Amino acid sequence: MKTETFYTAAQAAHADLSNKLTTAQTEARERAQQAALAASDDVLRPRLLGIITNQDAPSAEAVTSTLAAYAAMLPAHRQRDGVVLINSLESVKKHNGLTDKQAGLIAAAIMACVHGKAHAGLIDFPGSNVWHHDLTVGTLKQWAAWIAPDAHAELVKELNAAMRDRFRAEREMARLQAAEAALGMLGNALIESASNVIHLANHTGQQQRVGGVVFEPGTNVIDLDTFANIADNGGYRRMLDAGQLEVVA
C-alpha cells in the first residue's frame, strides 16, 4: 500500500471513529441524565405522595384511638395542631421508641383525616393539597416506608437500578473522554503526516547551512520540494547520521 493511500484510508477511518464516538458520548450523557432525573426531588416527591396517599384508610375507631395516643406524646398546647402532628412524627417516633408499624398506623390515621376519610375531632389538619409542604423528600421516604413498606421497597429497587445506570453511564463517559483524547492525538498526527512540510531539528546549537538551506538552532520547517533537494546531500546525510539534524515530524 502506498503511503498516500494509507493516509487517505487512515483519515477516513478516523472520521468514522470520531462520528461513532460523538454518538456514543451523546447516548451515555443522555443515560446519565435520565438516571439522575429519576432520583431527583422533582420526580420523587409526587411518586412518594402517591404511595403515601393511595392506601386504604383505617376504621374511624382506629383513627380516633391512634391519634389520641399520638397526640398525648406531644405537649398539651400542641396536641390540636395538625401541622405539628404531621411535622413531628419522625422525631416523636425516634424519641418514644415507636416501631415502624406504629409510625405507619399514625401516618395512615393522619392521611385519613387530611383526605376527609375520617373525622379528626378537635385536631385541625391542613388541606390535602398542602399537608406535606413542610416535609422534605427524605422525610416523605420515611413516611412511605412506614405506611406502605412493600410499595416503598419497590421504589427503592428502582432507585438503586437508576443509580447503577448512572454509575455505568458516567464511567462510560470517562472512558469515552479518554478515547476522544487519543483520537485527537491520532488526528493531529495524520494531519501532520499528510502535510506538505517537514520538521527538522537542528541540535548543534548554532546555525547550519546544508545544500544552500539554512537551519537555525531548534526546529525548522521546510517544504517537501526543499527537502527533496537536500535529502541526498552528503553534508545532510553526515549531520543526520551524527544526530546533529533530526526529522521530527
Spatial distance between the Cα atoms of 83 and 38, rounded to a whole number of angstroms: 29
Which among 167, 134, 115, 166 has a CA at the least distance from the CA of 45?
134
CB 85 within 8 A of CB 74: yes
- The 10s digit of each residue's pLDDT in 61-77 is 899 999 999 999 999 88
Buried b (16+ CB within 10 A) or exposed e, 155-165: beeebeebeeb
Instruction: Using alpha carbons, list the distances in angstroms from residue 103 to 55, 151, 223.
Output: 15, 16, 83
The predicted model scores a pTM of 0.64
CA dihedral 137, 141, 144, 145 (to 10 degrees): -170
Which among 20, 40, 132, 153 has a CA at the least distance from the CA of 86?
132
Find where cell 521530527 sits: 248
pLDDT along the chain (249 residues), means of 10: 65 81 90 89 94 89 92 90 94 94 95 88 89 94 95 93 89 87 74 68 90 89 80 84 84
User: In the structure, how many helices (H) and strands (E) does the chain have?
Assistant: 9, 5
Spatial distance between the Cα atoms of 62 and 41, rounded to a whole number of angstroms: 33
- The 10s digit of each residue's pLDDT in 182-226 is 887 777 666 655 566 778 899 999 999 888 889 899 999 888 778
pLDDT of the residue at 194 = 56
> What residues contact 192, with CB distance under 8 A and at least 6 apart?
249
CB 205 within 8 A of CB 178: no
Strand partners, 215: 208
Spatial distance between the Cα atoms of 85 and 200, rounded to a whole number of angstroms: 82
pLDDT of the residue at 52 = 95
End-to-end CA distance of the chain: 21
Q: Which amino acid is at 148?
A: A
pLDDT of the residue at 7 = 65
CB 112 within 8 A of CB 67: no
Spatial distance between the Cα atoms of 181 and 48, rounded to a whole number of angstroms: 43
Which among 163, 151, 152, 55 has a CA at the least distance from the CA of 111?
55
